[in-house]
Amino acid sequence: MTPEKLYEVLDRYAKSKGLELNKDKNFVFELLKGLLKNEERYGYRSCPCRLASGDKQRDADIICPCVYSIDDIKEYGRCYCGLYVTEEYNQGKIEERIVPERRKK
């Protein structure tokens, strides 16, 4: 899969959840390249912002979109990576803050 095709897929997914992809397309495409690299490396799209173990069951919580993204988006307007965001975040209505790591592994 190409980053462009993955963008289309994830954009549809985001919209189905009432979200958007980050408006910074250069940033998004770097994340998409990381997702695809992890898929090539491990066989699944683990979060490119976290260190995966290579064990899909152990990493199930960080397969994009990670299980932490729901709470991150509610609290910060974006997920840990900044791939998935709210409309308000993209419009600059939410102050950009560092999203803390929720994963305890």
pLDDT of 105 higher than 80: no
Q: Please give the domain boundaries of the chain with CATH numbers for all domains.
A: 3-91 (3.90.460.10)
Give the pTM: 0.94
H or E element, residue 50: none
Cα separations (Å) of 21 from 10, 42, 53, 57, 92? Answer: 8, 24, 26, 26, 14
What does the pLDDT look like over 15-25, one tens digit per residue?
Answer: 999 999 999 99
Q: What is the pLDDT of residues 84-95, one digit of tens each?
A: 999 999 999 999
- pLDDT for the residue 34: 98
Quick: pLDDT tens for 24-73.
999 999 999 999 999 999 999 999 999 999 999 999 999 999 999 999 99
